[in-house]
Amino acid sequence: MCSTLEPVRTRLDQLRQRAGGQLVQGFYEGLSGLARLHPRAQPARYGVEVIRDLPYLPGSAVPEHRLDVYRPSDRDGPLPAVLYIHGGGFRILSKDTHWVMALAFAARGYVVFNVSYRLAPRHPFPTPLEDVADAYRFVAERGASFGADLDRLVVAGESAGANLATAVTLMSVYPREEPFARAVHETGLVPRAVAPACGVFQVSDQRRFARRKRHLSRFVFERMAEVETGYLTEPLESYGPTLDLADPLVWLERGEAPARPLPPFFIPVGTRDPLLDDTRRLAAAIERLGGVAEPRYYEGGIHAFHAFVFLEQARELWRHKLAFLDRHLD
């Protein structure tokens, strides 16, 4: 009887997990769309102009190979720049759902390159990172034409975007054999600072969070497990050294000295975020390598709470982040 019911249970589990993922996607997309309708969400209110849907990969007709440029219209350049990489577990969302992050930086005087990339599981690892590498090269080659000061470049992102931001930064300071990683390194451009928030800095072994004493709900753990199974679709051993680029935390914990100095990292996370331990480990790994890391822990903060900019705690995080960048961008 059990063997007869097992395929049914498996199918029900798959349907439940799919529904859970769609629920999360619908929530964030709906919230982003509603917020965009608010009068205070208009870029012109903050002296910001937006150039939409620029192709960052020449000759590509892929819709995800696009970025938006947010830049102050009332300030003389060159201005500090941000390459912003959205989150969503590598599976959902886009630059269009993360306009508030780009606007928040641009309203404070940054030229922002807000990028989309192809999504898992249709486009698993390393495809999203390859796209981000192409966007990085676009900024290196053409960023100055939009008024960006590339000597003051920040790479930022949250959740899965924090993973991608960290990986592309490490590609800029460590020489590697992967063609897309080599292309990033050969630009010679190293970010002045990095701001990966609430990151999943190790994609493999998501069960490590369930092994912690803190209880994880089934719904939350399934969303976390989807990050791994959707992004890493092959047996881990088949990736070889390239797995470093999905697990930049593990890479840094090995303690290999970079060829170029690591930029300083601002690493915020809420204490109720199930990914909290990854931030602690990342800060420790950077400091062991002699780098600068400023982890910030926000009591009671949930995952990606800083996106809810109407909350005082979110505004506090933004104040801390901008102050950190002011110090390190001169």
Give the per-residue pLDDT at 157: 98
Place of tokens 């933004």: 318
- Helices 127-142 & 179-186, crossing angle to 10 degrees? 20
Residues 109 and 247 sit within 8 Å (Cβ to Cβ): no
**Strand 48-55 to 66-72 pairing:** antiparallel
Residues 194 and 266 sit within 8 Å (Cβ to Cβ): yes
Q: How far apart are CA 323 and CA 301, in angstroms?
A: 20
Selection from 126, 40, 83, 121 nearest residue 310 by Cα: 40
Give the per-residue pLDDT at 219: 83
Residues 200 and 227 sit within 8 Å (Cβ to Cβ): yes
181 burial (CB, 10 Å; 0-12 / 13-18 / 19+) is buried
Q: How far apart are CA 251 and CA 202, in angstroms?
A: 9
Half-sphere exposure of 238 (CA within 13 A, CB side): 6
Q: How far apart are CA 268 and CA 180, in angstroms?
A: 28
Give the per-residue pLDDT at 1: 41
pLDDT digit string (tens) for the chain, length 330 residues: 444 444 544 555 545 555 555 555 555 566 555 566 566 789 999 999 999 999 999 999 999 999 999 999 988 889 999 999 999 999 999 999 999 999 999 999 999 999 999 999 999 999 999 999 999 999 999 999 999 999 999 999 999 999 999 999 999 999 999 999 999 999 999 999 999 999 999 999 998 988 775 667 888 888 899 999 999 999 999 999 999 999 999 999 999 999 999 999 999 999 999 999 999 999 999 999 999 999 999 999 999 999 999 999 999 999 999 999 999 998
The one-letter amino acid at 320: H
Q: How far apart are CA 172 and CA 183, in angstroms?
A: 9
3-state secondary structure of 57: coil
Residue 234 is given by DSSP the state: S
Give the per-residue pLDDT at 330: 82
Q: How far apart are CA 136 and CA 117, in angstroms?
A: 12
Give the per-residue pLDDT at 220: 86
Q: Could you tell me which residues are beta bridge partners of residue 269?
A: 297
CATH of the structural domain 19-328, one choice from 3.10.20.740, 3.40.50.300, 3.40.640.10, 3.40.50.1820: 3.40.50.1820
186-190: list long-range contacts, CB under 8 Å, 24+ apart.
187/136, 187/137, 187/140, 187/141, 188/140, 189/136, 189/139, 189/140, 189/150, 189/153, 190/260, 190/261, 190/263
**What DSSP element (H or E) covers 12?**
helix 2-36
Give the per-residue pLDDT at 211: 79
Place of tokens 């990095």: 194
